[in-house]
């Protein structure tokens, strides 16, 4: 736990107070230069290759931020029609959107087909549906390469016991079903999991995907997925240049052996958005319980789910109202949701918080607002964007009680 003097370089302590005074608490804040820097790293992962990087917008669907990612050369991946609408709002064209749903209705496939958006299929049953919906057209197939990775069991998305994808052994049957509908396969995609910090398993799975591509003569691209991890607890983030170099080697071998060429695609979300976002909150009550100070604030799991869902660590900075020597104590950070599991941070050494102090939760730009909810009937937080010149603009207003009531009869 850092005191104010060690706060995020782009979020100095006086600015925290100013932002909360002007925009309220809790508040999501994004730093545009950091977002642009991460986008550029992804865009430059495989120089000299036919390469289409996308951002996976399940991590952050704010159209202002997505438009910045697009300016920096990224396409967009959507998991639902709603995410397609967000990408369209951000200015993405149909040919810049890849739809990767699972277990969807015919209507959702028709939604993408009518817009000319390339769609990936995740099971033989969805292939059967698509053979009709996309008759005479093209689709992609999501492969489960049986190699997974991730920061938590709940985010490992490939492997024998995982719900996602078509197994390599099922591909011939998928091709047969699609051929009957005159549907061709434009490419194969996969996503093995989220938040890994080393490239070994990603490259192992990439190799497995390329093996499957050999048996799909119409495939023009291989999308190796996202999952690139960042250091929430100070670890070094995944080395993208090593991933890019590894993929380039595998592709060069494959192209030499097959005499074909393939476009490479990746689809990270967390890597693009996590570090450019922080949540500002306010301390409302302190209790002492068996030697621990329980600091109650307004960042419950309605605002940030990751700690409760995955036991995830997020660095928390205290921003005191006044600069004074405070004793270092053990703090448990909790929110204002009516659940005893509403814990934002366990056992953090920290200067003693006081009512009225602010806190900054770091690395909250990915799976932050996007996973937030109105649980306990709390309106969702506002989002603001901090530009490189220091200007601040609201990119999503705070929800109101009227918003909460608006869908009711
Ligand atoms: C299909 C797919 N692609 C990309 C991603 C992005 O993953 P990450 O945010 O870890 O890069 C996900 C997330 O689970 C996903 O399901």
Question: For residue 399, is the peptide bond before it cis, meaning its omega torsion is within 30 degrees of 0?
Answer: no
Specify the residue for token string 């695609």. 265
Q: What is the separation of C-alpha 5 from the centre of its chain, rounded to a whole number of angstroms?
A: 29
CATH of the domain at 357: 2.40.37.10
Q: Which atom of ligand 1 is nearest to the CA of 79?
A: 1
DSSP symbols for 218-280: T--EEE----B---TTSPPPP-HHHHHHHHHHHHHHHHHHHS---EEEE--SHHHHGGGEEEE
DSSP symbols for 165-227: SB-GGGHHHHHHHHHHTT-EEEEEE---BS-BSSSHHHHHHHHHHHHHHHT-TT--EEE----
Out of 255, 271, 287, a domain closes at 271
In a shared domain, residues 192 and 326: no
Identify the domain containing residue 89 by its residue range.
33-271
113: pLDDT strictly greater than 80: yes
Q: How far apart are CA 180 and CA 282, in angstroms?
A: 60
Q: Tell me the CA distances in angstroms from 130 to 136, 145, 243, 272, one per residue in order.
A: 10, 22, 33, 31
Distance 194 CA to ligand 1 centre (A): 6
In a shared domain, residues 220 and 356: no
In a shared domain, residues 210 and 72: yes
In a shared domain, residues 72 and 123: yes
In a shared domain, residues 184 and 278: no
CATH of the domain at 87: 3.20.20.10
Number of helices and strands in the chain (H, E): 12, 17
In a shared domain, residues 74 and 200: yes
State the catalytic residue, choosing from 39, 276, 338, 350.
338
Enumerate residues 6+ apart whose C-beta is below 8 A from 407.
none
The strand pair at 358-361 and 277-289 is best described as antiparallel
- Ligand 1 pocket test target in 225, 229, 238 with most atoms within 8 Å of CB: 225
Number of structural domains (the chain) is 2
- pLDDT for res 5: 41
Nearest to 223 by CA among 258, 192, 196, 246: 192
In a shared domain, residues 202 and 329: no
* Tokens describing residue 277: 């976002």
In a shared domain, residues 293 and 249: no
Distance 58 CA to ligand 1 centre (A): 7
Enumerate residues 6+ apart whose C-beta is below 8 A from 276.
30, 31, 32, 34, 35, 38, 365
From the number of C-beta atoms within 10 Å of its C-beta (0-12, 13-18, 19+), residue 383 rates as: buried
Q: Which atom of ligand 1 is nearest to the CA of 59?
A: 9
Q: How far apart are CA 120 and CA 100, in angstroms?
A: 5
- Ligand 1 pocket test target in 58, 69, 365 with most atoms within 8 Å of CB: 58
105: pLDDT strictly greater than 50: yes
Distance 241 CA to ligand 1 centre (A): 19
Q: Which atom of ligand 1 is nearest to the CA of 269?
A: 9
pLDDT band for position 382 (cuts 50, 70, 90): very high
Q: How far apart are CA 167 and CA 351, in angstroms?
A: 52
Instruction: Return the minimum-mean-pLDDT range out of 5-14, 28-37, 333-342.
Output: 5-14
In a shared domain, residues 255 and 296: no
Helices of type H across 115-152: 124-133
- pLDDT for res 198: 96
In a shared domain, residues 331 and 204: no
CB 264 within 8 A of CB 189: no
pLDDT digits (tens, 9 = 90+) for 226-284: 999 999 999 999 999 999 999 999 999 999 999 999 999 999 999 999 999 999 999 99
- Ligand 1 pocket test target in 226, 238, 371 with most atoms within 8 Å of CB: 226
Out of 271, 289, 304, a domain closes at 271
Pocket of ligand 1 (CB under 6 A): 56, 58-59, 77, 100, 157, 191, 194-195, 225-228, 267-271, 366
1: pLDDT strictly greater than 70: no
pLDDT digits (tens, 9 = 90+) for 70-86: 999 999 999 999 999 99
In a shared domain, residues 232 and 99: yes
CB 305 within 8 A of CB 371: yes
CB 291 within 8 A of CB 326: no
pTM of the complete model: 0.97
Element (H, E) at 382: strand 382-386
Query: Which phi-psi region, left, alpha or beta, contains residue 89 (left: φ > 0; alpha: ψ -120 to 50)?
Result: alpha
Distance 67 CA to ligand 1 centre (A): 19
Element (H, E) at 65: helix 63-71
Out of 271, 294, 316, a domain closes at 271
2: pLDDT strictly greater than 60: no
- pLDDT for res 4: 40
HSE-up of residue 213 (Cα within 13 Å, Cβ side): 30
- pLDDT for res 53: 98
Catalytic, 338? Answer yes
In a shared domain, residues 204 and 107: yes
Q: How far apart are CA 171 and CA 127, in angstroms?
A: 10
Distance 77 CA to ligand 1 centre (A): 9
């Amino acid at each position: 736990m850092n005191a104010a003097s060690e706060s995020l370089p782009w979020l100095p302590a006086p600015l925290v107070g100013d932002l909360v005074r002007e925009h309220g608490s809790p508040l999501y804040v994004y730093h545009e230069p950091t977002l642009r820097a991460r986008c550029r790293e992804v865009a430059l992962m495989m120089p000299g290759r036919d390469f289409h990087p996308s951002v996976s917008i399940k991590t952050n669907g704010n159209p202002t931020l997505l438009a910045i990612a697009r300016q920096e050369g990224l396409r967009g991946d959507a998991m639902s029609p709603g995410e397609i609408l967000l990408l369209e709002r951000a200015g993405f064209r149909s040919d810049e959107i890849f739809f990767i749903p699972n277990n969807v209705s015919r209507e959702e496939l028709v939604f993408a087909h009518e817009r000319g958006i390339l769609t990936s299929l995740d099971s033989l049953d969805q292939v059967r549906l698509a053979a009709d919906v996309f008759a005479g057209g093209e689709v992609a197939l999501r492969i489960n390469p049986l190699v997974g990775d991730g920061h938590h069991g709940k985010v490992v998305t490939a492997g024998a016991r995982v719900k996602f994808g078509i197994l390599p052994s099922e591909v011939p049957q998928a091709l047969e079903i699609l051929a009957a509908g005159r549907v061709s396969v434009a490419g194969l995609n996969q996503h093995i999991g989220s938040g890994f910090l080393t490239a070994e398993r990603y490259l192992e799975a990439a190799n497995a995907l390329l093996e499957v591509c050999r048996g799909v003569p119409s495939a023009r691209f291989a999308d190796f997925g996202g999952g690139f991890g960042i250091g929430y607890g100070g670890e070094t983030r995944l080395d993208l240049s090593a991933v890019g170099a590894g993929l380039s080697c595998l592709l060069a071998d494959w192209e030499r052996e097959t005499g074909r060429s393939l476009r490479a695609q990746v689809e990270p979300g967390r890597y693009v958005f996590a570090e450019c976002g922080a949540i500002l909150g306010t301390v409302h009550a302190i209790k002492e319980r068996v030697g621990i100070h329980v600091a109650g604030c307004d960042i419950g799991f309605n605002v940030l789910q990751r700690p409760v869902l995955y036991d995830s660590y997020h660095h928390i900075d205290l921003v005191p109202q006044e600069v004074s020597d405070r004793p270092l104590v053990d703090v448990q950070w909790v929110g204002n949701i009516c659940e005893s599991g509403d814990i934002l941070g366990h056992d953090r050494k920290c200067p003693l918080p006081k009512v009225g102090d602010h806190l900054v939760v770091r690395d909250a730009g990915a799976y932050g607002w996007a996973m937030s909810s109105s649980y306990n009937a709390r309106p969702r937080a506002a989002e603001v964007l901090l530009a490189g010149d220091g200007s601040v603009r609201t990119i999503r207003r705070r929800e109101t009680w009227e918003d909460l009531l608006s869908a009711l009869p």
